[in-house]
Structure 1
């Protein structure tokens, strides 16, 4: 297997037979600082809106697609609850020599199309991968604070069910995100989110109000009968991962890692 196919830093997750899914890290790409990997080697920035060169991002995305074994579609994420359904036409678009920059504006993607990868971009928000390996439907969701409030995970599940998925058969993976010990927010913001999703209520290591978005997403999935695998890596603490909050503190920009899933 080639170095590209191996792709450094990948965290694979098991979502059932015929489903390939993993979370990337900041390593294994061609982007220089400030998007470089923690050891200074080329970074695997997959975001187009963080001042990195588009050509480098294209190379990084192609490495992820090669590792997945399918072209990977990404949306323009806006912290909402819109789900974009993709099919054969989109698979052809994303497999083209010059794929589109975006599948459209939305924070979740769903498909029953074999050989089309779905990607969700994050740098502190929660990446969610979903699959029903029996009905052969997969989805991804970008669940930041606003997305958790808006119920983007519920909307993604609804879109899967509309395509034949059974929530009891859906398997989920909740990827690296900023944890409740680190995600400090104003008390009023914590109360607003916790009023809708109580499991998000948290206190940071400094004793200040916090939000545990991964716990909130797991609770939302459980409410629909979906058991989730929680990766449990904190993007703020783990320097192998991109973190918007960590970069902001140091006055630099950062990249975006991804969760990807495909029916193969």
Structure 2
């Protein structure tokens, strides 16, 4: 008696973070720079973005980029774009196969998904955006589109860690006031900000508990671009998209 093969399980959502390795860009953007606003050769950035799309099995036009401005603006998209979505720091979609991209070089890339409801989001949570509620507003927009806080899974990517993100005392106090749990001390004993810690506390307060965080620090880990470490540098990316599959 013959046996049939077990069914192939396809993940309903994919989340990806890049590093700085494996691209076409020259120093100081070496080498997998995905930012088109940092002074790199546009042809090299285009080649890197095409390589990214090919690696994850998408067409370049299926990746939606943002013109990030450290705001708390959230934009819903439902189709490919001719260029970056202007002046926004979070994207939300219910469209399968449409990948949402966030660029960072110390800020926290936040990927969110409720695969049961079919809603995903990508957010750029820098110090100012996080302070001003970009993640709260992203979760609220996802809920408006059918997601539930209990059904949302979150992945926080590599970012500046509190042990190295030194800021003046007044700035640390201000961010702590708006994003409780973010103020910390650096390894030097000075005031610092741990944006990821503040965001985790904020998300849990919103009822989102399925949270994972990559602990790597972009300031100390040279596998990543870091504005704080290098000044002129490239950008890595986080991507999230619905595959169309359902569990």
TM-score, normalising length: structure 1: 0.85
What secondary structure is seen at the aligned counterpart in 2 of 1:193? helix
> For residue 66 of structure 2, what is the aligned residue in structure 1?
75
> For residue 262 of structure 1, what is the aligned residue in structure 2?
241
> For residue 237 of structure 1, what is the aligned residue in structure 2?
220
What secondary structure is seen at the aligned counterpart in 2 of 1:104? coil
Matched, 1:25 2:38: no
- Contact 1:80/1:147 (8 A) holds in 2: yes
Q: In the TM superposition, what whole-angstrom CA distance separates every residue of 1:179-232 from its partner, at most 9, and x where no partner exists?
A: 000000000000001112221011000011100011111111111121210101
Q: In the TM superposition, what whole-angstrom CA distance separates every residue of 1:139-166 from its partner, at most 9, and x where no partner exists?
A: 0110011011111001111111111111
Q: CA deviation at 1:67?
A: 2.5
- Contact 2:180/2:202 (8 A) holds in 1: no
Structure 2: give runs of 5+ residues left out of the alignment.
1-9
Matched, 1:155 2:137: yes
What secondary structure is seen at the aligned counterpart in 2 of 1:233? coil
> For residue 224 of structure 1, what is the aligned residue in structure 2?
206
> For residue 168 of structure 1, what is the aligned residue in structure 2?
150
Name whichever of 186-195 and 222-231 sits farther off.
Answer: 222-231
Matched, 1:84 2:75: yes
Structure 1: give runs of 5+ residues left out of the alignment.
1-15, 37-42, 94-99
The count of corresponding residues between Structure 1 and Structure 2 is 230
Q: Distance in 1 between matches of 2:207 and 2:56?
A: 28
What secondary structure is seen at the aligned counterpart in 2 of 1:168? helix
- Contact 2:132/2:178 (8 A) holds in 1: no
What secondary structure is seen at the aligned counterpart in 1 of 2:75? strand
Which protein shows a greater Rg?
A: 2
- Contact 1:68/1:117 (8 A) holds in 2: no
> For residue 126 of structure 1, what is the aligned residue in structure 2?
108
Q: CA deviation at 1:101?
A: 3.1
> For residue 58 of structure 1, what is the aligned residue in structure 2?
46
What secondary structure is seen at the aligned counterpart in 2 of 1:77? coil
- Contact 2:28/2:233 (8 A) holds in 1: yes
Q: Distance in 2 between matches of 1:68 and 1:137?
A: 19
Q: Alpha carbon RMSD of aligned pairs, Å? A: 1.2
> For residue 137 of structure 1, what is the aligned residue in structure 2?
119
- Contact 2:185/2:192 (8 A) holds in 1: yes
Matched, 1:117 2:106: no
Q: Distance in 2 between matches of 1:63 and 1:224?
A: 37
Q: Which one scores higher on RCO, CA 8 angstroms, separation ≥ 6?
A: 2
